[in-house]
Structure 1
Amino acid sequence: MAANAGLVDELRSWGLTLPGAHRKSPWPDHDDLAVKDKTFAYLPAKGRPFSLSCKLPYTGYEALQLPFAEPTAYGLGKSGWVSFNPPEDQVPSLDRLKAWVEESYRAQAPRKLVKELDDRV
């Protein structure tokens, strides 16, 4: 878990560089990423096993083919949310995780902020 804790920290730090992104912790054991108070990545709190849930309107079907992926609970799966709970030795690469988080950010953020992201060099 310790190795993946660093990965979660790195992913969260990167996610906070997206325009308007901020932390949100609506429940215990969560330290999520949000934009305009709309969550775009559900992440575990420090010390919890790796997990990630994000909205994947374009790559969700493909992502759900992974053995450790499933539609997100509480009805979110019907809206394109996918949850990843891989065994510690099967956690996807940071680049793959960033791609999912960015896709989710783009699905949740206001157009103005997505444009700001697109305008970055």
Structure 2
Amino acid sequence: MPDQDPFAEAEAALRTHALGFPGATEEFPWGHRAIKVRGKIFVTLAALGDQFRTSMKLPDSGTYALTQRYATPAGYGLGRHGWVTCTFRPGDEVPTDLLEEWIEESYRAVAPKKLILARNAQLGGAEVSPVTTLSPTLIPEPNAAKKARRGT
């Protein structure tokens, strides 16, 4: 018998990943799963009929994220503040590895520095930027456009 919810596995994996961050808690403010740190949402996960939707704050990789066919600026004016919504429909493959990286970025954008340092310790104490741990190939270099104009 086929799985009733084609996105259950992806949602469970992303939920587990997000709740593994220091200080992460789960609430259901609108009937959808919201994962928060110190009262601030850093990722939402929602099964909406035959769709799966997740939103997160992506200050560094948002521009790249929006080039993906499944990504759009988040509604309610949040898109202009770096929030991106990814919507998946039946037959779509959910790129959980990439979404986990984006959830990490969102956590780092929202969490207080003390908890970011605790996250770094979870990762083995490696020197990690408080903003993001994403692969440099996924993040445009900060101020790259300015540097290009200056010729540096």
Q: TM-score, with normalisation over the residues of structure 2?
A: 0.73
1:119 aligns with 121
**Aligned counterpart, 1:98:** 100
Q: Which amino acid aligns with 2:27?
A: K
Q: Would the aligned equivalents of 1:31 and 1:45 in 2 still touch at CA under 8 Å?
A: no
* Structure 2 partner of 1:26: 29
- Aligned residue identity for 1:116: A
Would you say the 8 A contact 1:44–1:51 is kept in 2? yes
Is the contact between residue 40 and residue 101 of structure 1 (CA under 8 Å) also seen in structure 2?
Answer: yes
What pairs with 1:29-108 in structure 2 (closer than 5 Å)? Answer: 30-44=32-46, 49-108=51-110
Is 2:6 aligned against 1:3? yes
- Residue correspondences, number: 120
Cα distance in structure 1, aligned partners of 2:93 and 2:114: 32
Displacement of 1:3 in angstroms is 3.1
Q: For each residue in 1:48-88, what CA deviation from the matched residue of structure 2 results, as whole angstroms up to 9, or x when unmatched?
A: 63111000001000000111211000110010000011223
Q: Which structure ranks higher in relative contact order (CA pairs < 8 Å, sequence separation ≥ 6)?
A: 1
Of all paired residues, the percent bearing the same amino acid is 38
TM-score by length of 1: 0.90
Q: Which amino acid aligns with 2:36?
A: A
Q: Gaps (5+ residues) in structure 2? A: 125-152
Amino acid in the other structure paired with 2:41: T
Give, as a single letter, the amino acid of the residue that structure 1 aligns with 2:29. Answer: P
Query: Gaps (5+ residues) in structure 1?
Result: none
How far 1:46 moved relative to its partner? 8.6
Amino acid at match of 1:22: T
Distance in 2 between the 1:92 and 1:46 partners? 15
Task: Return the alpha-carbon distance in structure 2 between the equivalents of residues 16 and 53 of structure 1.
Answer: 15
Cα deviations by residue, 1:77-101 (Å, 9 ceiling, x for unpaired): 0100000112233333221110011
CA distance in 1 between partners of 2:30 and 2:50 (Å):
13
